[in-house]
Amino acid sequence: MTEQNAAIIHEFLIESFENLSGISEEITQYEKDHSNSELLNSIYRKVHTLKGSSSFLSFKILESVTHHAENILDMIREGEMEMDSDIIDILLETFDACLEMLKNIEANGTEGENKYSDLNARLLKVESNESIDDGLRKKFEEQKISETSDLPALNIKLEVMNETKLQNKSSSEELALVTQNQNASESVKTEVVKLATEDVLEKKPEVKKAETKKVDLKTEEPKKVISLTDSVVRVNVQLLDKIMNVVGELVLNRNQILQYANISDSPDLTRLAQQLNVITTDLQTDIMTTRMQPVGTVLTKFERIVRDLSREQGKSIKLTISGKETELDKTLLEAIRDPMTHLVRNSVDHGIEDSSRRLENGKSEDGHIHIKSYHEGGQVTIEISDDGNGINPEVILAKAISKNLVSKEKGATLSERQILNLIFTPGFSTAEQVTNISGRGVGMDVVKSNIEKIGGSVDVHSVVGNGTTFKLKIPLTLAIVPALVVRSSGETFAIPQINLVELVRIENEGNENHIEKLLESEFFRLRGELIPVFRLGESLKLLDKDEVVEDINEDCVNIVILNAEGQFYGLIVDHVLDTEEIVVKPLSRKLKDLNLFGGATIMGDGSVALIVDALGFFNSVDSGASARTDEHDFLEEKEQIKNGETQEILLTQLGDSRDYGIPLCLVNRLEEFPLKDIEWTGDQPLVRYGNQPMLLINLEECLELEGTSSLLSEEKDITVACIVTKVRGSYFGLVVKEIKDIAFSESDVNEEMSDRDGIMGTIFINGKTVSLLDVHKVIDSKKRSKNIASNNLSVLLVDDSPLHQRVQKEIITELGYCVTTACDGVDGMQKFSEMPDLKLIVTDIEMPNLNGWEFIKKVRETNPNIPVIGISSRITSKDEERGERNGFNCFIDKSNQEKMTEAILNCVG
């Protein structure tokens, strides 16, 4: 039995035991009052549910018995039959039999050996309006005694024996009569057979003597098994909501006590506060778990919707659902039911073409809709995708302009993603809009608003002719959420961590150079990409800086990077305080139009903090300049592409007190380890990293440098600075004296200036020459072998940056492929023409002579099927959309080694 089937049967047993628990009382009550039609209908519904469920799960005996009982109850409801005591008796017997079968299913997964053929025959007679004859009635009464009697087993034995003695039957016939009683429960049947056998032994002393030893053997008492009905209790959702609210207040109180304990000198208070914290956290986790339900309870409903709509429209559509076991808060499940129904209906109505058109377009006759749910980033993501027409952005934009929802000038600046999002604009869709090309608009504004009300988001992605995917991102729960607490202009705010990407701290030295201005808007360059930034205090028109001087930290700039439905931006705040779990309190109805905030919470000191709504805030304060960044492309970016690509370098210092650089794309984490935690195996230092030992590399020794590594320090209380990198699937720690800064360089690596193994070359940073470490060679010098198995597949790597080319080549080579490199698009086309067995192309975008966009165009003219991966250090949503239109299989940030590896394996295997 699979886990899924086991879960279904588990739910079936809970429901069935609950239905049968009071059905005997209900039917006896109805016997007293035949006018209570509602009671009869209740009994009928329970039997009907039991019959349907048993039929679905292929419990044939149970299905047969309940089917006849259902027919009898239906005839009574319709007035075709009068209820009498005989019918009541046989129905009660039927329900006892059902209960017995359910217990067998719970115990061993089957209905038991009893076929209940006699019971079915008598039910059929009643169903046919025939009277129960005396013989059957007498046998029925005997069965009732054996099934329902609460007397001890000895009384059962005496009754059976007395009756058989009056009929002058032999002992063997007595035993046969007992064992043939098909309606007795298994436990009673076993007891009766045992007692009857003992009676036979009493008549035959010699047999009894021989068998006495067996009877006297000690037997283990059966273990007490808790039944399913005793282990499950159904609770009203309103009660769970009330408990959740109480737990929320407890969390607030816990936060206040913890804050007070932190400033108190009482160790007892600190200890008790920590215990309260643990207990509250456990209670909060448990109560949230009770509210969780699998999304399959909603998703499976769409099987019927898709079937009915497809038959109605004469389409052949197959629906597949994955991730039914993903759990979500019950309140949120109810909230997403209607929006999802609308999206599924649109996929059937306007997404999937009819069979004839699909065949004309070279597709299969059957359309496919796939619903997929999974956990991602602390929330639940649900994707609804189809392989239909897709949405034509040109048609969408033309319709929006014609309805004056967007100006022609504004429309010309919109990206494809922004155009697709126009379908969510209120008033966009009309009856004329429901076409096979650009339907999908009716009520989409309601879908988006309903999802956003629960703190979720909706994203749409579509390829004309290939289909559309709607992605819903939904928080796990609304009541208690983790948040980052910040302060700006003397006020405290909470930002849900679900929108938090990272925190950036810029030290005072030249910090204004990091904030760039364009068209009266501010931007911050985050790893080569410009993102808009807003000053929280100024955006909300709070107190002037002069009035809250004591709250401003002049030594640094704190930027909170947020993600609002794919739009990244930064909030400049005065202080980043802490992260904590907050209880979301809704705002007053009078503030319902204020979309800057998603609610409020009570902090540990009793003050109220507003919860920033990442998307609402951005839509409110963004003047539109951020959308024009793609339009202008920043002249400096174009100049950068012309002069060479910006390379991010981590600056470090080793034991010889000189500066060395490591490509930032090779750095996974920066760590500090206490020297006392480092262990040695021979002359090799190791440290526990996660759940595995990690090799530490003494760079001074590998590079034969002067100076002493911190690994060999005699001061045991110091910490060792370590750069963690991942090479060939293993983590390594590069030990340095000091981690200094992250710098940018537009100069190429001068490989001729490498004076030793382990140094890639030199590079200019801030007017100084810095030696660049060759991380792969350093690691190879400490490993006995590379263990790279070649699969003889050829890959062409096109990149004008020697540094990135070297790094990417190592990544691809580690996967076992044969790599050929090219320095630009022209060189790449030459190598491409000379490699008939080429399996994959990896190309940079910003290159001289022939850039990546022109290169892919020429490649597709020659070979439309070869996989091509685009890489860049600056990727925007517009680049991704353009890349897909131009024929790239995927677009990857070249600094992300794991994504690069995953993309290569997906394309080639």
Digit-coded pLDDT (tens) for 755-811: 677 787 888 877 778 888 888 888 877 764 444 445 678 889 998 877 778 778 877
Looking at the structure, tell me whether residues 284 and 305 fall in a common domain.
Answer: no
Cβ proximity of 640 and 746 under 8 Å? yes
Give the mean pLDDT of the chain: 75
Whether residue 825 is predicted with pLDDT greater than 90 in this model: the reply is no
Whether residue 343 is predicted with pLDDT greater than 60 in this model: the reply is yes
Whether residue 134 is predicted with pLDDT greater than 60 in this model: the reply is no
Q: What is the mean pLDDT of residues 122-143?
A: 61
pLDDT at 252: 81
Total number of domains constituting the chain: 6
**Percentage, residues of the chain above pLDDT 70:** 76
Of 163-167, 534-538, 623-627, least confident by mean pLDDT is: 163-167
Looking at the structure, tell me whether residues 286 and 300 fall in a common domain.
Answer: no
CA distances from 606 to 142, 275, 276, 430, 585 (A): 73, 21, 18, 50, 14
Q: What is the DSSP string of 423-440?
A: GGSTT---GGG-STTT--
Residue 482 lies in a domain: no
836 versus 486: the higher-pLDDT residue is 486
Kindly report the CATH number assigned to the domain that includes residue 180: 1.20.120.160
Residue 828 lies in a domain: yes
Q: Give me the sheet containing 759-765, strands edge to edge.
A: 738-745, 647-653, 659-663, 768-773, 759-765
Looking at the structure, tell me whether residues 765 and 807 fall in a common domain.
Answer: no
Q: Look at residues 569, 595, 630 and tell me which one is the last residue of a structural domain.
A: 630
Looking at the structure, tell me whether residues 814 and 712 fall in a common domain.
Answer: no
Please tell me the distance from the alpha carbon of residue 739 to that of residue 559, in angstroms, as a whole number: 22
The angle at the Cα of 401, spanning 399 to 403, to the nearest 5 degrees, equals: 70
847 versus 157: the higher-pLDDT residue is 847
Q: What is the DSSP string of 691-704?
A: TEEEEEEEHHHHTT
Looking at the structure, tell me whether residues 40 and 187 fall in a common domain.
Answer: yes
Report pLDDT digits (tens) over 353-388.
Answer: 888 888 888 888 889 999 998 877 667 889 999 998
Kindly report the CATH number assigned to the domain that includes residue 264: 1.10.287
Looking at the structure, tell me whether residues 21 and 144 fall in a common domain.
Answer: yes
Kindly report the CATH number assigned to the domain that includes residue 813: 3.40.50.2300
At 292, is the secondary structure helix, strand, or coil? strand
Looking at the structure, tell me whether residues 424 and 334 fall in a common domain.
Answer: yes
pLDDT at 493: 93
pLDDT confidence tier of residue 543, bands split at 50, 70 and 90? low
pLDDT at 159: 44
Whether residue 736 is predicted with pLDDT greater than 80 in this model: the reply is yes
Chain centroid, CA 760 distance in Å: 42
Q: Look at residues 738, 755, 782 and tell me which one is the last residue of a structural domain.
A: 782
Residues 6+ away with beta carbon under 8 Å from 631: 413
Cβ proximity of 571 and 560 under 8 Å? yes
Residue 670 lies in a domain: yes
Looking at the structure, tell me whether residues 305 and 284 fall in a common domain.
Answer: no
Residue 32 lies in a domain: yes
797 versus 242: the higher-pLDDT residue is 797
Please tell me the distance from the alpha carbon of residue 134 to that of residue 729, in angstroms, as a whole number: 81
Q: From start to end of 191-302, where are the E strands?
A: 292-294
Of 184-193, 478-487, 643-652, 824-833, least confident by mean pLDDT is: 184-193
Task: Compute φ and ψ for 414, nearest 5 degrees.
Answer: -80, 140
At 57, is the secondary structure helix, strand, or coil? coil
Bridge partners of 568? 563
797 versus 632: the higher-pLDDT residue is 797
Residues 6+ away with beta carbon under 8 Å from 770: 649, 651, 659, 660, 661, 762, 763, 764
Cβ proximity of 678 and 628 under 8 Å? no
Residue 345 lies in a domain: yes
Task: Compute φ and ψ for 456, nearest 5 degrees.
Answer: -100, -175
Domain interval for residue 382? 296-475
Residue 491 lies in a domain: no
Q: Closest by alpha carbon to 705, among 659, 769, 762?
A: 659
pLDDT at 124: 87
pLDDT at 368: 92
Q: What is the mean pLDDT of residues 160-170?
A: 40
Residue 536 lies in a domain: yes
Structure tokens at 205: 């002393």
Q: What is the mean pLDDT of residues 444-470?
A: 84
Looking at the structure, tell me whether residues 686 and 747 fall in a common domain.
Answer: yes
Please tell me the distance from the alpha carbon of residue 659 to that of residue 653, in angstroms, as a whole number: 5
Cβ neighbours around 56 below 10 Å, total:
11
Chain centroid, CA 839 distance in Å: 34
Residue 232 lies in a domain: no
pLDDT at 555: 64
315 versus 634: the higher-pLDDT residue is 315
pLDDT confidence tier of residue 192, bands split at 50, 70 and 90? very low
Whether residue 486 is predicted with pLDDT greater than 90 in this model: the reply is yes
Report pLDDT digits (tens) over 643-677.
Answer: 445 677 888 888 888 888 888 878 888 888 888 88
Kindly report the CATH number assigned to the domain that includes residue 398: 3.30.565.10
With tokens 């060189």, the residue in question is: 827
pLDDT at 369: 92
Task: Give the alpha-carbon dihedral of 512, 513, 518, 520, to 10 degrees.
Answer: 10
Kindly report the CATH number assigned to the domain that includes residue 565: 2.40.50.180
**Count of CA atoms in the C-beta half-sphere (13 A) of 351:** 33
Pairing of strands 521-526, 515-518: antiparallel
Residues 6+ away with beta carbon under 8 Å from 704: 756
Q: What is the mean pLDDT of residues 91-118?
A: 87
With tokens 């448990």, the residue in question is: 286
The separation between the first and the last C-alpha atoms of the chain, rounded to the nearest angstrom, is 34
Q: What is the mean pLDDT of residues 2-15?
A: 73
Looking at the structure, tell me whether residues 671 and 738 fall in a common domain.
Answer: yes
Of 301-315, 373-387, 858-872, 876-890, least confident by mean pLDDT is: 876-890
Whether residue 431 is predicted with pLDDT greater than 70 in this model: the reply is no
pLDDT at 289: 76
> Which of 144-158, 339-353, 506-520 ranks highest by mean pLDDT?
339-353
Q: What is the mean pLDDT of residues 100-113?
A: 86
Please tell me the distance from the alpha carbon of residue 681 to that of residue 555, in angstroms, as a whole number: 44
Whether residue 700 is predicted with pLDDT greater than 60 in this model: the reply is yes
Looking at the structure, tell me whether residues 772 and 868 fall in a common domain.
Answer: no
Q: What is the mean pLDDT of residues 832-848?
A: 86
Residues 6+ away with beta carbon under 8 Å from 357: 436
Q: Give me the sheet containing 367-376, strands edge to edge.
A: 317-322, 367-376, 379-386, 467-475, 457-463
Of 469-483, 739-753, 849-863, least confident by mean pLDDT is: 739-753
Q: Look at residues 252, 269, 291 and tell me which one is the last residue of a structural domain.
A: 291
Q: What is the mean pLDDT of residues 25-42?
A: 82
Looking at the structure, tell me whether residues 701 and 827 fall in a common domain.
Answer: no
pLDDT confidence tier of residue 573, bands split at 50, 70 and 90? very high
